[in-house]
Amino acid sequence: MKNATLLIGLFLLYGSLYGQDNINTKNSARFGINRAFFGAGDVIGPGIYGEYSYSLNDYFALTPRIMIAYGNRKGDGHYSHASSFGTSLSIRITPLPRLLSRLKFDFGGLYHRFIDTYGNIGQKDQYGQYFSTYTYYYVENLFGLIGSLNINVIESKKAEIGLRFDTLTSFTEGYFNCDSWQTGVYVGLKF
C-alpha cells in the first residue's frame, strides 16, 4: 500500500509539472530510494541518497552526492549488520544527448564510512535480552570508485523519474573490493 501511494504521488507530481512552460533546463536535484546489497548480496537493506547535477554541456555534468544505506541478516544462530554513509563526486556522461537523453552514466570518486558487525545469537538471559559469546565489529573509512547507470523512465522539462543501478567499490590493501551494489528509483527536479 505504501508503494502504491508513493507511486501515485510521483505521477501526480509529474503531471502537475508537465503542464508548465517549456524552458531549456540542464541542472537537476534528485532524491532516491535504493535497495542495497552488501558484500556478496547476503546482507540486504534500504538506502537513500540526494544529489545535485550541474551541467557542463550536453554531454557532461558534475554530480556531488550524499548517501546512506544499511542492511541486516539473521539466521542459523548468526547475525550480520552492514551500514554505509558516503559522499561522492562524479562526472555524469550522456553519450547520445539527441537520441538517448534518458540514458546517463556516472563515474567518480567515493568516500564512505563502512560499519560491519556480525556474530552468533546466544540464549536469552533473565531480562529477555539475547547474549552473544562471539561478536565482531569494525569501522572503516574507505576511498574508492562509484559507477552508476541512470535511466529516466518519465522525463519532462521540469521533472524526471527513473531507475538507477550503482556499484560502490573501495581500495583496500592494494585491491579494489565491491562493497555494495544498489538498485532503486529516483525523482528529480530540473531547473
Query: 3-class SS at 59?
Result: coil
Q: pLDDT band at residue 5, thresholds of 50, 70 and 90?
A: low
pLDDT of amino acid 25:
57
- Residue among 173, 52, 71 at smallest CA distance from 114: 71
Q: pLDDT exceeding 90 applies to what percent of the chain? A: 58
Relative to beta strand 175-190, strand 28-38 is antiparallel
Work out the pLDDT band at 18, boundaries 50, 70, 90.
Answer: very low
pLDDT at 26: 80
Return the higher-pLDDT residue of 110 and 128: 110
Residue whose grid cell is 529516483: 186
Q: Which helix (H) or strand (E) holds 13?
A: helix 2-18
CA distance 61 to 26: 9
Domains contained in the chain, CATH given: 2-190 (2.40.160.20)
Q: Residue 83 has what pLDDT?
A: 93
Q: Are 14 and 161 in contact (CB under 8 A)?
A: yes
pLDDT at 12: 55
Cell 524526471 belongs to which residue?
Answer: 160
Q: Rg of the chain's alpha carbons, rounded to an integer?
A: 20
Question: pTM of the predicted model, to two decimals?
Answer: 0.77
Compare 22 and 112 and report the one with higher pLDDT: 112
Q: Look at 132 and 73; give whichever has higher pLDDT.
A: 73
What is the mean pLDDT of the segment spanning 3-8? Answer: 62
What is d(CA 21, CA 181) in angstroms, rounded to the nearest whole number?
38
